[in-house]
Structure 1
Amino acid sequence: MEGFVQFAQKTVKAVSDIIPFSISVSNDEGNIIGDSDSSRIGTMHRPSVEVIEENKVIRFTEEKVASMENVLPGVAVPLIFDDKPVGVLGIIGDPDDVESYAHLVKQYVEMMWQETLHVQLENLNAMTLESFVQYVLLNESVSQEQVNHYCKLLRIEHDCMRLCIVIDIGNHLLDRMDAGQKIPSSESLKKTLLNCVVRAFDGNGDSVCAFLNAQQIVYLKPLDDEDSYRYFMDEFRNRGHRLQEMLQVYGIDHVTIAAGNCCTSLECVFQSYREAAHLMSYGRKQSITPGIYNYYDWDVLINMLPHHIDTNIKEILMQRLRPLIDDESFMQLKNDFLMYCNYNMNVSRTAEALFVHRNTLIYRLKKINAVTGLDTGSFEHCTLLYFVLKE
């Protein structure tokens, strides 16, 4: 088994420090790959083949080994992984004295090997996931066949709506490495930070969360439909605050978070990533606090509006106002609101011009507030809505 030799030698060293007997480990071909006596490593231990074939404990007394080459008295037990013998553990000494140790050490070695395999598989999966997100987020054009291959390998749902969230932690990991932190420690921290992101954004089995690079974590949030998107975005700032607080526990004080718009498949999720990256860059330049940005946030859109009056921002605003546009009384609400703006947000004068009661107009303005989340009593919010409806 790949990695078994290195593991065997580490195990021999660790176990030799805690028991009073010498030990050896052989592979399934009978070759000694780990031994308290390093001169025996690489030599053939033929009885190990017998232990593997019979899959049972064999005792070797002084009399039995007298005529055997490279065999010492003791007990040999098969090492079982995935329900089959893959190696042999030998405890050297009087069989009556060492047999109880053999069974204890066997359990320890098997447990440690399973744990080692588990960690290796986790690390391999993490590396594969990082390669996947780099592929789909950093390339405008991706192969559907390649994306399908990754999805099958990683058990990721392919055809569902997703949005990309980018979490920037700055140079925290790089600074730890510069300060002499060990790689295993850094890997453990990375796993912890990814778990924080998943918990903060209510992850499930279809979520994709990985490091894009040493500074950025990306989270591809699956969505059922437009309603689930709106619900999630309504809570986005609160969830972002929660994540910032969680990361502060690990000494990461400056965290920037941004979300792009939702997309229909993994092949086009790079658009959502670019939108999030653009928002993050813009928010930093404009010193917008608290460092949690998304296109569903009216305050962010209002801040961007003077600088980004283009086709893209119009499409974003139209998407954000879709519930109002789809309302059955939209045309009336639109007309009343535009008139309200034309009369400088004066309710009494607007109601008089519309030939309706003042309370009727207030009711309709409150309905706009409820449907859109805007505040028609705010000049800035009214300016934003006026811009879209007038268009």
Structure 2
Amino acid sequence: MHIQRIKSIIHSLKDIIDTEINLLDENGYIFHSTDTNKIGNYDNQIISFELNDGFLIEKQEYIYCSYNSYEEDKCILSIKGINEDTQKFAKMIGIFLGTDIKNISRNDFIKSILLNTISDDSIKNVCEKHHIVTQGQVQIIVIEATENLMGTVEEILSALLSDEIIRIKSKYFAVIKRITDKNNDFPTFLSETISSELLYEVKIGIGVIVDDVYDWHFSYKTAENFIEIGKVFLPSHKTYSFKSLTIPLMISKIQANDLEEIMKQFDCNIKSLFSNNELLNTAFIFFKNNLNISDTARDLFVHRNTLIYRLSKIQDITGYDLRIFEDAILFNVMINGHLCLTNENKSIIK
């Protein structure tokens, strides 16, 4: 059952009709209500009458209606107040409750799994219908592109991949990647291919590997959030994974007050560097290229001596020589610490 969707509908309707709305099982157990005090209680009136699907029954001050839920068990709706408006709303909600999940398309079904808008009880049966393997290592890879390029990106993905490709939002595609080997170059290959075709760099989030279909949504969510946090901490990167975001993740777990205190101990004038986009970008690209002078100069389209001059400027401002590994590590921590403090609302797993 699309529990979250139904709850959202019920709460939206409550704002319109301002009355109590409940969802019950056929024993009268209230498992959801706009009145939180009702949840977990029983409505004993249920046993006093027989409900037929789609028919309304008025009992004391409530309207009742029964529908088949997605799991083929009865779901009973009750609305407090007996009048023309509540009768209409009871029928309206029933349309959603009576929808047969087994008729959902494969694409929409997988999308519901990724967005976690379908119950675990429904997943197994519908997976069987669509011949979806529920066990085995899967990694959800999310591709972000601008809305006007989504059609072209989809064509490229369809030509490149035999994997399931699901359009999630106006800017996201999700690839259901089954892990058959330890080839970690696939996301990079995907990014470079799209970039060469479109002359546009998409952002790619690499979700954690999960073992069964019930955790696909977790892999999807981590991939989506890796993109959002990665654009803040590693803007020059095209792909983001747990490994590439290890330092930001670790630092983001530190309380803001504690992090501020730690930052004070490093008198490195890091804030001044953030006012110089050229030097900051140079540092990011240098880290991306594993402190390699030649590769960084090539990526920046500058002469080697120009790069060395910029690295010297960074050292003059902060006191850290990024060509020295230990200094590079500490500088990286400082950069990420500053970004964490200025982006406290960014959380990697929401």
Flag the structure with higher helix content: 1
Q: Which has the larger radius of gyration?
A: 1
TM-score w.r.t. the length of structure 2 is 0.39
